[in-house]
Amino acid sequence: MARNDSVDRTSVRNLAVSDKAVGNTQQHNEREKDSYRNPDIIPQRTSWNVHFKKPTASYTDLFAQLEAAETISTRGLKPDATHYCELVFDVNSAYFDNHGGYEFAKQFYADAYKAAVQIVGGEQYILSAVMHADEINRAMTEALGREVYHYHLHVVYVPVVEKQILWSKRCKDKALVGTVKETVMQVSRSKKWASKPLLDDAGKPILQKNGKPVLKKSYSILQDNFFNFMRAAGYTDIERGERGSTEEHLTVTQFKVQREQERLDSLTAQIDQKEQHLTQTNKTLSKTEKELAAVQKKATLTKEALIHARDLDYIGKRTFLGNYSLTEEEFSKLKKQADHGYMMDVENRRLKEELSTAKKEAIHWSNKYHDLWYDVKPYLDALHRAPELVRGFLEKILAPKQEHTMNVPQQNRKRGQDVEL
């Protein structure tokens, strides 16, 4: 039996899914991708995933079918309105491992799906419900020496509320004006998850000093409903997700806390150190390249001066005896150029030595730059491929007291006092 020192707590998150993101949500949940950024997904285990409601078409097509059948209504919705939501039901990996693993998880989430039907308001509004059994818990697997998987349930649905359509003043029968014309199930995420008044033991709203009702956030109610349903279904050895917490995963196992935190601390330190070395190497290389360019410029000027000195070959006249005769002006010019040429020859030799040294240094720093770049490449690639996953994971593990998202961040805050119970 796996160690499980922490309390086993239920967790359910409600996520808004935009029209733009729904395709990616479908590909992830239904395992339609060729590859995944999440390294914990084991493709060979995909067949172990369990559908409690398998989609017969794409999520968008199923939505269109519901609308065409008038099962739902989008009348009056804004163009950017949210049409889809997703519930993610979860309990820590050790809980399932302690109770037998896969078979126990299937029964647990079969009951959790029944809770989802109640929460959503009816199975007809659910597009897909699948238990993932192909995501490995690497920390527990390493600690126990055998494969341990993290089981959780994804339920994608259309958020709806009952809406009464009244007869307008344009109705010919004035007796009908203001009465109910029809009742529709309106797509509305904000109304589906609006905060509700907190009631006292007598069932009356609890009021603030200003007379306004104290509001209880809908996500707190969601946690209550799921926990109470699972307790009633016979799972009496679990606790409700921590009240007042927004942590995404309430019960990260002790294995993961102890081992993954050490591993990520080391990884973060290595990344920081190598990035600092890489930055310093880039600065040094840039400086060396500038110095090399300056030396090359000096060498070029020296070369040009030597070329100009060749003009001296054409001064003077050859005499009958084979000697050269020079005018006073030519002799003065020749002497001046000889002195200058000697000094330039010395300077040229010095610059050549400096150039040779600079090239060697440039090669040294270039090699060091590439060595460091290859050292940090795996970490930079990981951050590039899954920036949100890696950074989010680092923040959750390295800062356990920091607020995460067990209860999805509150949205559409109503005026008044919200209380998490």
Q: Is the pLDDT of residue 182 over 60?
A: yes
Alpha-carbon torsion, ordered 91, 94, 98, 99, to 10 deg: 20
Q: What's the order of all strands across the beta sheet hosting 84-90?
A: 11-17, 84-90, 152-157, 126-132, 50-53
Rounded mean pLDDT of the chain? Answer: 79
Predicted confidence (pLDDT) at residue 19 exceeds the cutoff of 90: yes
pLDDT for 164 beyond 90: no
Q: Where are the domains of the chain?
A: 11-161+217-243, 267-382
Give the residue with greater pLDDT, 282 vs 55: 55
Look at residues 277, 287, 307 and name the one whose alpha carbon lies nearest to residue 371: 277
Q: How far apart are the first and last CA of the chain?
A: 33
> Residue 82's pLDDT is what?
93
For residues 271-291, give the mean pLDDT.
79
Band (pLDDT 50/70/90 cuts) for residue 248 is: very low
Over residues 97-120, the pLDDT tens digits come to 999 899 999 999 999 999 999 999
Q: pLDDT at position 369, please?
A: 75
pLDDT in tens, 69-79: 999 999 888 88
Say what the pLDDT of residue 294 is: 80
Mean pLDDT, residues 267-272 taken together: 68
Measured CA angle at 193 (ends 187, 196), to 5 deg: 130
Domain spanning 267-382, CATH class: mainly alpha
Q: What pLDDT is stored for residue 313 in this prediction?
A: 57
Phi, psi of 186 (to 5 degrees): -80, 130
Instruction: State yes or no: pLDDT of 418 exceeds 60.
Output: no
Q: Is 80 exceeded by the pLDDT of residue 187? A: yes
**CA–CA separation, 313 vs 75, rounded Å?**
97
**Cβ neighbour number for residue 339 with a 10 Å cutoff:** 10
23: exposed, middle or buried (C-beta count within 10 Å: 0-12, 13-18, 19+)? middle
Q: Residue 381 pLDDT more than 50?
A: yes
293 CA to centre of own chain: 43
**pLDDT of res. 253:** 40
Q: For residue 388, is pLDDT > 80?
A: no
| Structure tokens belonging to residue 39 | 């390294």
Asked, colleague to colleague, whether 11-161+217-243 and 267-382 share their fold, the answer is no
Q: Which CATH class is domain 11-161+217-243?
A: alpha beta
Whether the pLDDT of residue 311 is over 70: the answer is no
Share of the chain above pLDDT 70, in %: 76
- pLDDT value at position 305? 59
pLDDT at 265: 58
Find, among 40, 147, 151, 135, the residue nearest to 95 by Cα. Answer: 151
Q: Which pLDDT value is given to residue 312?
A: 55
